[in-house]
Amino acid sequence: MCGDLRSADVGSTVTVCGWVDSRREHSQHLAFIDLRDRSGVVQVIVDGNHDLRSEYVAKVTGTVAERIEGTANANLATGDIEIRDCEVEILSEAEPPPFPMDERTDVDETIRLRHRYVDLRKSRMQKNLRTRAKVNSAIRTAMEEQGFVEIETPMLIASTPEGARDFVVPSRQKPGNFYALPQSPQIFKQLCMVGGIDRYYQIARCMRDEDLRADRQFEFMQLDAEASFVTQEDVFEFISHAIRGATEAVTGERPGDIPRITWDDAMERYGSDKPDTRFGMELENLTEVFASTEFNAFKAERVMGIRVPGGAEFSRSKLDDLTDMVKRWGGKGLVWMKVEDDLTLNSPVAKFCSDDELAGIKEKLGAEAGDVLFLVADRKRRTQHLLGLLRVELGRPPVTEGGLNYLWVVDFPLFEDISDDGKPVPAHHPFTMPHADDIELLESAEGEELLDVRSQAYDLVLNGWELGSGSVRIHRSDVQSRIFEILGIGEEEAQLKFGFLLDAFKYGAPPHAGFAFGIDRVAAILAGEENIREVIAFPKTQSGADPLTKAPTAIDDTQLEELGLRVLPQAE
Ligand code: ASP
């Protein structure tokens, strides 16, 4: 390979193939070519008459020679040698590349994706896709070491309930009927457990029609796993083994035990169910300090604060921007207090607070000169949420800094919210087993009280990104029917959507539990990328389009006819 040649190869005749990375004229008769393949580049000296332009594909046979003294390039692995006396065969000519091929120029992402085949030649993508492959391979090894068997579940299915919108595929043979593409293999892996597979895994493609973000694509890959006769502890064990193996495969270092935090603690300390524990700035509860306050803005279910060291230097406009941000996130406002050298609190609202209250804030937050303190007062959950977002906004280190902080978040609530029509919304999915200690509460709770019911669901978090979720499942059809009832899924609807699962449970279902984590996200963080598109060979843009194939595109009338479909005119 081009990038493998070294001084030890001097004197040998070699043949290398690759793309012309760059060309410099040496003299009238000779030209320097940097030839690139997946391993790197090598300098090749060719007859100046060869028409070898940027990105031409060539095969070169010549002799490896030491570079002339003073011309070695210490920044290049092959910098001590070059290939001389070359025979050149042009395998393919090439148009000038659509963007500069050096690694320094920032190229617009749409242009990169439009010509992804050229973009993939760059070392960043070469490295990232290989990192991803290592992750996949290590996961397979780890799961197989633990006795898991790889099973492929179908892509054309009836809807799965992961809470997102389905992508659907029209049926030609049954016009007017649709398959859904799987949001996950959830139901099939549970059916595998009823089928005695015992330990299932799959590196599964999942499809969810949700708005795209830096950490989200329509389709994504996840390690999906399920096991029978196991507890939550066993699942942590299996998944930790896989994630530690994947990390070691990329970084060379095996992470230690993965710490745990309860969902409730995570919300209290970090205001998030996916806390980034690479930095402090934890939330403090100040509700007691304001128990008998005269200041209306602080008469709230919850008052909480965070301390930002050095923040006293923030300009007025930065503080205004942060306040606007909190309002956009759904807050009523944001109170800031700068800590002066004599530890007095400089704030537009200081005059509304009693001396005891000001002292209480300083003490609880451990205020030091030069800090800025941010306070939010609202309903409990919203206060946590807003300060959690603010904490990340102000403190989150870049992806390549602060190490890899894996974290299990345990004891998730069973329901995340009560919808406008009074039905509880499942926090995970409707097959999640309630926490053993909260079964009675589940039966007696009404309205908002339901939000206190915990579940046997857990998440794996890395540096503030949710990698994945799992749970102990309900394996009895009576309990499952009862949960459907609480969720407001009527018997008829339950039969229609999940009847086959309820039926399966009647034929001997083992207790089972499982998990799934997103491979794109793990690969991105391990590759040091902030955006999962950088570890996906052919991703969609933020707006869900593929600039290369132009998908999504219209289909022709014959195809529509065959499917029994008619497209309505689009509303302006
Ligand atoms: N099916 C779930 C998901 O894709 C994971 C699980 O519960 O195993 O999020």
Domain holding 82: CATH number?
2.40.50.140
Please work out whether the CB of residue 160 comes within 6 Å of at least one atom of ligand 1.
no
Same domain, 88 and 106: no
Ligand 1: residue of 162, 188, 192, 234 to mutate (most ligand atoms within 8 A of CB) is: 162
Last residue of one domain, picked from the residues 30, 59, 92: 92
The answer on 117 and 85 residing in a single domain is no
DSSP 275-333: --TTS----EE-TGGGTT-S-GGG-SSEEEEEEETTGGG--HHHHHHHHHHHHHTT-S-
For residue 320, the domain's CATH number is 3.30.1360.30
Of 92, 118, 144, the one marking the end of a domain is 92
How far apart are the two ends of the chain, measured CA to CA in Å?
56
CB of 188 shorter than 6 A to ligand 1: no
Residue 271 in contact with ligand 1 by CB distance below 6 A: no
In angstroms, what is the span from residue 238 Cα to ligand 1's centroid? 15
Domain boundaries, position 109: 102-256+511-572
Distance CA 235, CA 568 (A): 48
- Separation CA 19–CA 56 (nearest Å): 6
Q: What is the 213 CA–ligand 1 centroid distance (Å)? A: 20
Q: How far is the CA of 381 from the centre of ligand 1 (A)?
A: 25
> Are 225 and 200 in contact, with CB atoms under 8 Å apart?
yes
Do 137 and 251 belong together in one domain?
Answer: yes
Ligand 1 centroid – CA 366 distance (Å) = 40
- 6 and 78, same domain (yes or no): yes
Q: Decide whether any atom of ligand 1 lies within 6 Å of the 455 Cβ.
A: no
Relative to beta strand 302-308, strand 284-285 is antiparallel
User: Does residue 420 sit within a domain?
Assistant: no
Q: What is the CA radius of gyration of the chain?
A: 29
Question: In angstroms, rounded to a whole number, what is the distance separating the alpha carbons of residues 228 and 195?
Answer: 10
In a domain, 520, yes or no: yes
Run of H or E residues at 81: strand 81-92
Contact 515 CB / ligand 1 (< 6 Å): yes
Please give the DSSP secondary-structure letter assigned to residue 165: P
* Ligand 1 pocket member 469 (CB < 6 A): yes
* Domain-located, residue 415: no
Regarding the beta carbon of 153 and ligand 1, being less than 6 Å apart is answered no
Q: Does residue 430's CB lie within 6 angstroms of at least one atom of ligand 1?
A: no
| Ligand 1 close to Cβ of residue 305 (< 6 A) | no
Q: State in Å: Cα 207 to ligand 1 middle.
A: 12
User: Atom 4, ligand 1: which residue's CA is nearest?
Assistant: 184
Nearest CA to ligand 1 atom 8: 515
Name the packing angle between helices 232-251 and 519-526 (round to 10°): 40
CA of 512 to the centre of ligand 1 (A): 13
Structure tokens that stand for 249 in this block: 């495969």
Q: What DSSP element (H or E) covers 189? A: helix 186-194
* Ligand 1 proximity of 450 Cβ (cutoff 6 Å): no
Asked, for residue 270, whether it belongs to a domain, the answer is: no
What is the residue with the minimal CA distance to atom 9 of ligand 1?
469
Q: Residue 466 Cα, ligand 1 centroid: separation in angstroms?
A: 12
Closest ligand 1 atom to 431 CA: 7
Report the C-alpha gap between 6 and 22 in whole angstroms: 20
Instruction: Examine the domain organization and report whether 117 and 245 are in the same domain.
Output: yes
Give yes or no for residue 62 CB within 6 A of ligand 1. Answer: no
471 ligand 1 Cβ < 6 A: yes
Domain final residue pick, 40, 61, 92: 92
Q: What is the residue type of 335?
A: V
Residues 304 and 390 in one domain: yes
Question: Which pLDDT score is estimated for 498?
Answer: 86
Pocket test for ligand 1, best of 184, 199, 466 (most atoms within 8 A of CB): 184
For 76, 295, 333, 489, the CA distances from 52, given in Å and listed in that order, are 22, 77, 63, 67
CA–centroid distance, residue 469 to ligand 1 (Å): 6
User: What global pTM score does this model have?
Assistant: 0.94
Residue 432 lies in a domain: no
3-class state of residue 75 by DSSP: coil
Ligand 1 mutation target, pool 205, 429, 474, most atoms within 8 A of CB:
429
User: Candidates 224, 235, 458, 459: which one to mutate for ligand 1, based on the most atoms within 8 Å of Cβ?
Assistant: 224
Whether 249 and 344 map to the same domain: the answer is no
160 with 210, same domain: the answer is yes
Beta strands in 302-437 (DSSP E): 302-308, 335-339, 345-346, 372-378, 406-410, 415-418, 424-426
Q: Could you give phi then psi for residue 478, rounded to 5 degrees? A: -70, -45
Q: Indicate whether residue 184 lines ligand 1 (CB < 6 A).
A: yes
Instruction: Please identify, by atom number, the ligand 1 atom nearest to the C-alpha of residue 432.
Output: 7
Q: Is 470 domain-assigned?
A: no
Question: Quick one: 31 and 127 in the same domain?
Answer: no
Cα(206)–Cα(452) distance, rounded to whole angstroms?
31
pLDDT tens digits in sequence order for the chain, 572 residues long: 999 999 999 999 999 999 999 999 988 789 999 999 999 999 999 999 999 999 999 999 999 999 999 999 999 999 999 999 999 999 999 999 999 998 888 999 999 999 999 999 999 999 999 999 999 999 999 999 999 999 999 999 997 778 889 999 999 999 999 999 999 999 999 999 999 999 999 999 999 999 998 889 999 999 999 999 999 999 999 999 999 999 999 999 999 999 999 999 999 999 999 999 999 999 999 999 999 999 999 999 999 999 999 999 999 999 999 999 999 999 999 999 999 999 999 999 999 999 999 999 999 999 999 999 999 999 999 999 999 999 999 999 999 999 999 999 999 999 998 888 888 999 988 999 999 999 899 989 888 899 999 999 999 999 999 999 999 999 988 888 888 888 888 889 888 888 899 899 999 999 999 999 999 999 999 999 999 999 999 999 999 999 999 999 999 999 999 999 999 998 77
Number of the ligand 1 atom closest to the C-alpha atom of 457: 7
Q: Does 437 fall in a domain?
A: no
Asked if 120 and 179 sit in the same domain, the reply is yes
**Residue 462 beta carbon below 6 angstroms from any ligand 1 atom:** no
Q: In what order do the strands lie in the sheet with 465-472?
A: 149-150, 199-207, 219-228, 512-518, 465-472, 457-462, 406-410, 260-262
Tally of domains in the chain? 3
**Backbone φ/ψ region at 121: left (φ over 0), alpha (ψ -120 to 50), beta:** alpha
470 pocket-lining for ligand 1 (C-beta < 6 Å): yes
Are 251 and 116 within one domain? yes
- CA–centroid distance, residue 223 to ligand 1 (Å): 10
DSSP for residue 44: E
pLDDT at 111: 96
Please list, in sequence order, all residues whose beta carbon lies within 8 angstroms of the beta carbon of residue 309, skipping any fewer than 6 positions away. Answer: 368, 370, 371
The answer as to whether 164 is a domain residue is: yes
| C-alpha 509 to ligand 1 mean position (Å) | 19
Sign of CA dihedral 508, 513, 517, 519: negative
Q: Whose CA is nearest to atom 7 of ligand 1?
A: 470
Together in a domain, 59 and 130? no
Distance 422 CA to ligand 1 centre (A): 25
3-state secondary structure 483-531: HHHHCCCCHHHHHHHHHHHHHHHCCCCCCEEEEEEEHHHHHHHHCCCCC
Domain CATH for 566: 3.30.930.10
- The answer to whether the beta carbons of residues 139 and 245 sit under 8 Å apart is yes
Residue 161 beta carbon below 6 angstroms from any ligand 1 atom: no
